[in-house]
């Protein structure tokens, strides 16, 4: 199975400051169709997960543009340009290229 | 808009079975797979598998073969997760999500296994 490794696992941030989460995969996530299926999810406290980013860098509908995704191959990053109070929660990456799908361990974002 | 509405919380005794439903609306049900994800208390997300809503063919992750069954009723746009011979280790929130890329999620169903 593809192992997804996130860092850091805990990320205290100051409101208005940027934040960055890394996600590394144990194998390349480039699919045979040429796409790279790397997704990012946000799970606010007490809520269901919500997909923020698909195929590395595409924002889902309604996702604020302060969220951005980048990367290629096995190395990916989620960035929040200016953290707001509503961004508190746990962020997960998930690879959607190989079977079985696999999630990262999660990164808990909290306000300092 | 796309919605996945799951059935309510369940409290079951060890050894019992439970069936969780996931009713989809806002899109053509048979166009996208349904994925199932487990989240144990205080833990991360665990991919359980998925079911092809066109063929009914399920695929299970390694740890979810045998006592876990995915099924469909396409006439009511609903997917089901049934778990038999429950143990305390199955106490978790179970989520359904649309497609193999999990683009929309249900609200989750808490299954508690306790005597």
* Separation of CA B89 from chain center: 16
pLDDT (0 to 100) of residue A67 = 98
Query: Residue B109 has what pLDDT?
Result: 98
Determine whether the interchain pair A49/B95 forms a contact, defined as Cβ–Cβ distance below 8 Å. Answer: yes
> Each residue of B8-53: pLDDT tens digit?
999 999 999 999 999 999 999 999 999 999 999 999 999 999 999 9
How open is the CA angle A61-A66-A69, to the nearest 5 degrees? 75
User: What CA–CA distance (Å, rounded) separates B1 from B100?
Assistant: 19
Q: Which of A41, A54, A100 has the CB atom closest to B61's CB atom?
A: A100
- Supply the pLDDT for residue B8: 98
| Mean pLDDT rounded to a whole number for chain A | 98
pLDDT tens for B47-81 read 999 999 999 999 999 999 999 999 999 999 999 99
Residues in chain B within 8 Å Cβ distance of A99: 59
CB atoms B44 and A37 under 8 Å: no
Contact B102 A102 (CB under 8 A): no
Q: Does B3 touch chain A (CB under 8 A)?
A: no
- Residue A63, token pair as written in the block: 């996702």
**Do A96 and B61 count as a contact with CB atoms less than 8 A apart?**
no
Residues 6 or more apart from B1 whose CB is under 8 A from it?
A: B26
Q: How deeply is B114 buried, as exposed, middle or buried, from its count of CB atoms within 10 A (0-12, 13-18, 19+)? A: exposed
pLDDT value, residue B4? 98
Share of chain A above pLDDT 90, in %: 100
């Amino acid at each position: 199975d593809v192992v997804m490794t996130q860092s850091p696992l805990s990320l205290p941030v100051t409101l208005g400051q940027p934040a960055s989460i890394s996600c590394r995969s144990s194998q390349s996530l480039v699919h045979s169709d040429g796409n790279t299926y790397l997704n990012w999810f946000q799970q606010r406290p007490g809520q269901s997960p919500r997909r923020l980013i698909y195929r590395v860098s595409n924002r889902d509908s309604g996702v604020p543009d302060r969220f951005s995704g980048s990367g290629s191959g096995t190395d990916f990053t989620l960035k929040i340009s200016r953290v707001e109070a509503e961004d508190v929660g746990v962020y997960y990456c998930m690879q959607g290229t190989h079977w079985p799908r696999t999630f990262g361990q999660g990164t808990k974002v909290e306000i300092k | 808009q796309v919605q996945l509405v799951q059935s309510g919380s369940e409290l079951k005794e060890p050894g019992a079975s439970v069936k969780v439903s996931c009713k989809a609306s806002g899109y053509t049900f048979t166009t996208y797979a349904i994925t199932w994800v487990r989240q144990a208390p205080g833990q991360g997300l665990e991919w359980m598998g998925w079911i092809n809503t066109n063929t009914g063919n399920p695929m299970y992750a390694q740890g979810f073969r045998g006592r876990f069954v995915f099924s469909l009723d396409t006439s009511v746009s609903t997917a089901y997760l049934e778990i038999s011979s429950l143990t305390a280790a199955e106490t978790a929130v179970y989520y359904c999500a649309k497609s193999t890329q999990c683009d929309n999620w249900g609200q989750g169903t808490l299954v508690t296994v306790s005597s």
